[in-house]
Amino acid sequence: METLSTEVLVVGGGTGGTAAALQAARRGAQTILVSEGPWLGGMLTAAGVSAPDGNELCAFQTGIWGAFLRALEQRQPGGLDHGWVSFFTYEPRVGAAIFADWVNALPNLSWISGQRPRGVSRQGDRITGVEFNDFTVQAQITLDGTELGDLLTLGAVPHRWGWEDKTQWQEPSAPDSLTDPTDPLYEVVQRYPVQAPTWVVVMADYGEGQAASTIPNPVADAEDWASAFEGAWEGYGGESFLNYGRLPGNRFMINWPQQGNDYGVNLEALVGDASAQQNWSRAAIAHSQAFAHYIQKHLGNRYGLATDTFPQLDQGGGAFALQPYYRESRRLVGTTTITEQDLLPVKDGNVAPLPINSQGEMSGIAIGNYPNDHHYPGFDFPLAPKSLRWGGRWTGTPFTLPYEALVPEQIDGLLACDKNISVSHIANGVTRLQPTILGVGQAAGMAAALCVERGCQPRNLPVSDLQTALLSDPTAPVAIIPCFDLLPDSGTQQQQYCQQPESYPQDGYCKATLPQPELDCPKFQGWLEPDSTGDLWQFTPDGSTQQASTVVTLHPLACQQLRTVTTAQSVTLWGWPNRAGNWLRTMQIKPMTQ
């Protein structure tokens, strides 16, 4: 068997692995990226979730995540304002092409696809390489970017899988007991060891009066599948349900949690042998096909499978994603573990506490801001609230992830760079989202390259050096501390908060001077009116007979302008309309008198 040697090895071409390989190579490290599938990007592309959640505010659109959005805006015909689950929806193949182009542009980055890890090489407590089907790679630093933390098992690296009770970390949303039948969460804990994945299917609207190809129902018991999906779009209506994940070109990402295609059956098979995983995958695909059949039967034959969305594979492809949308992985036992309390807002504040390590340093390396979101079909799981109103809509409490959660507690030569970081089961519902994982991957890739430069292990890398490198990266600089009113080019103030975390404001506002945004968007004139709460605004264009639209914004200056509108007034708005969400994503607001 051939043996390859490299400085940095990234195993897994998912969201975090792709970002890690890009960053390590951009820093100058000789890097090999090995992926199982033909597309890079994981959740954002191959898993079909081309509707990213979290980090949507302009201040959080930094690093590789921000660069990815800018590339999508340039490449996606028709723009990104289509669905209502996300501000950015796009064709999965467009996202995959962006990542492939970035990887192929780097001469010191070799991408090998079609390979799964089969074994991990160790020298004592140090990982030295990984064995694949056809070759072995020896590396100074290895990064586990697999979807399910495969290297943690193969390398006998201490890790977790599933739930922890409240005695572990006193998390407010954790069950009191995992084994007591009287615990309110006992049934969900027993049925679902981890969050349910989804096998995304993409459907298309073939037009009024047109009939798409009939979608066969692969489930033997017709009564079972009908009852499983009954009420799927209750409270929404069929059109709004489809528009949830509307993509360009009259297509729909079907990733629906309410009586939909989340698949939580036999989840232990996800960490079983290859045969168990294949059987689970076949069943998950059949479940999504049955849901698509149900949609076609109840909403009309104009809706069919979009069979040219993905390349065809033995399992998946065509209208079905190339892999499941995994929401949870094996999770590293790191030098620190992120828990629910680390992600909840500080008292009387809008942001979560900054992470401070055992040396008293602020050790944050990536940000996120999603509400806590867990998926267990058939169960409504209550969680401690962590959301706030901003820009005319709800957004999640911003938080910062510590570097120590990427570093194994006991093992050298290894970093985690996807959903497999050291995080509790409860906290995983916040940290698992695509933009946050891009940030985790970027930080892991930079850390690996710095370890190569310095000849040190990840646990010995000064976190301040990593933070400086991320903030000053020449290609995709990263914001590592969330501030609502700091735009992506604010490295100096970010560095100040790293060095003086006590100066970080608990309301998340840094009182920055904001530049006027570029207005490369449509212009509207009309009537803007706040509601009684002062948190929502409705806009009616002049001369329009259409329903008023909700005004929302992702830009801090427009958010400030919105808050000054306390009574109805005539205004000029610049922004992008979204018919699915019935909102106007606004970049600037001016009273008509100006």
* Predicted pLDDT at 224: 64
Give the percent of the chain with pLDDT over 70. 98
Contact 76, 248 (CB under 8 A): yes
Which of 375-379, 470-474, 588-592 is least confident? 588-592
Decide: 281 and 325 in contact? Cβ < 8 Å: no
pLDDT score, position 225: 64
Band (451; pLDDT cuts 50, 70, 90):
very high
Residue 317 one-letter amino acid: G
Residues composing the chain: 594
- Comparing C-alpha atoms, which of 370, 369, 409, 373 is closest to residue 160? 409
Give the mean model confidence (pLDDT) for residues 438-457: 98
Task: Return the exposure string of 509-532: e unless at least 16 CB atoms fall within 10 Å of the residue's CB, then b.
Answer: ebeeebeebeeebeebebbbbbee
Query: What integer is the mean pLDDT of 261-270?
Result: 96
- pLDDT, one tens digit per residue, over 479-501 is 999 999 988 776 678 999 999 99
b/e string for 46-57 if b means 16 or more Cβ within 10 A?
A: bbbbbbbbbbbb
Contact criterion met (CB below 8 Å) for 366 and 310: no
Q: Domain map of the chain by residue range? A: 2-161+327-335+400-476, 201-305, 523-591
Mean pLDDT of the 513-535 span? 87
Task: Tell me the two tokens of residue 370.
Answer: 């999603």
Q: Using CA atoms, how far apart are residues 1 and 131, in angstroms rounded to an integer?
A: 9
Q: Please, which pLDDT band fits residue 222 given cuts at 50, 70 and 90?
A: low
Nearest to 314 by CA among 37, 5, 23, 118: 37
* Interval 323-339 mean pLDDT: 98
Quickly state the pLDDT bin for 209 (edges 50, 70, 90).
confident
Specify whether the CB–CB gap between 438 and 45 falls below 8 A.
no
Q: How far is CA 75 from CA 69, 72, 83, 94, 467, in A?
A: 10, 5, 18, 7, 31
**∠ at Cα 343 (513, 445), nearest 5°?**
75
What is the torsion angle, in degrees rounded to the nearest 10, for the CA atoms of residue 409, residue 415, residue 418 and residue 420? -30
pLDDT at res. 129 = 97
Give the pLDDT confidence score for residue 172 in this predicted structure. 97
- 575: pLDDT strictly greater than 90: yes
pLDDT tens-digit series, residues 7-24: 999 999 999 999 999 999
Which tens digit of pLDDT belongs to each residue from 133-192?
999 999 999 999 999 999 999 999 999 999 999 999 999 999 999 999 999 999 999 999
Phi, psi of 585 (to 5 degrees): -80, 105
Judge contact between 169 and 341, C-beta under 8 A.
yes
Sequence-separated (6 or more) residues with CB below 8 Å from residue 486: 59, 479, 493, 494, 510, 512
Write down the pLDDT at residue 136. 98
The pLDDT tens digits for 383-392 are 999 999 999 9
Query: Cα angle at 74 between 70 and 80, to 5 degrees?
Result: 75
Beta pairing, strands 523-530 & 537-541: antiparallel
Work out the burial of residue 124: count CB atoms within 10 Å of its CB; fewer than 13 is exposed, 13-18 middle, 19 or more buried: exposed
Is the model's pLDDT at 1 over the cut of 90? Answer: no
> Which residues lie closer than 8 Å to 40 by C-beta, 6 or more apart?
13, 18, 33, 46, 96, 99, 100, 103, 111
Sign (positive or negative) of CA dihedral 172, 174, 178, 181: positive
Specify the residue for token string 């849901």.
Answer: 291
How far is 352 from 343, CA to CA, in rounded Å? 5
Top-ranked range on mean pLDDT: pick from 378-382, 419-423, 501-505, 512-516 = 419-423
419-445: buried (b, 16+ CB within 10 Å) or exposed (e) per residue?
bbbbbbbbbbbbbbbbbbbbbbbbbbb
Tell me which architecture the domain covering 523-591 has in CATH: Beta Barrel (2.40)
Name the 3-class secondary structure at 496: helix
Q: In the numeric block, which tokens belong to residue 320?
A: 């079905």
Q: Backbone phi, then psi, for 582, in 5-degree steps?
A: 50, 50
Amino acid sitting at position 19 = A
Percentage of the chain exceeding pLDDT 90: 89
pLDDT the model gives residue 228: 85
Q: What tokens were used for 568? A: 């109805």
Beta bridge pairs of residue 550: 538, 583
Residues 6+ apart with CB under 8 A from 379: 187, 188, 191, 192
Instruction: Find the helix or strand (DSSP H, E) in which 555 lies.
Output: none
Task: Return d(Cα 342, Cα 348) in angstroms, integer.
Answer: 15
- Burial degree of 546 (CB within 10 A; 0-12, 13-18, 19+): exposed
Neighbours of 85 (CB within 10 A): 18
Residue 217: alpha-carbon gap to chain centroid:
31
Q: If you average pLDDT over residues 25-29, what whole number do you get?
A: 98
DSSP 8-state assignment for residue 587: E
Q: How sure is the predictor about 445, in pLDDT bands with cuts at 50, 70 and 90?
A: very high
Residue indicated by tokens 């370890």 = 451
> Distance between CA 496 and CA 479 in Å, rounded?
12
Bridge partners, residue 168, by sequence: none
| pLDDT band for position 221 (cuts 50, 70, 90) | low
Query: Which conformational region is residue 349 in: left (phi greater than 0), alpha (psi within -120 to 50 degrees), or beta?
Result: beta
- Looking at domain 2-161+327-335+400-476, its CATH architecture is 3-Layer(bba) Sandwich (3.50)
**CA angle (329 as vertex; 326, 330 as ends), nearest 5:** 160
Give the mean pLDDT of the chain: 94
In three-state secondary structure terms, 241 is: helix
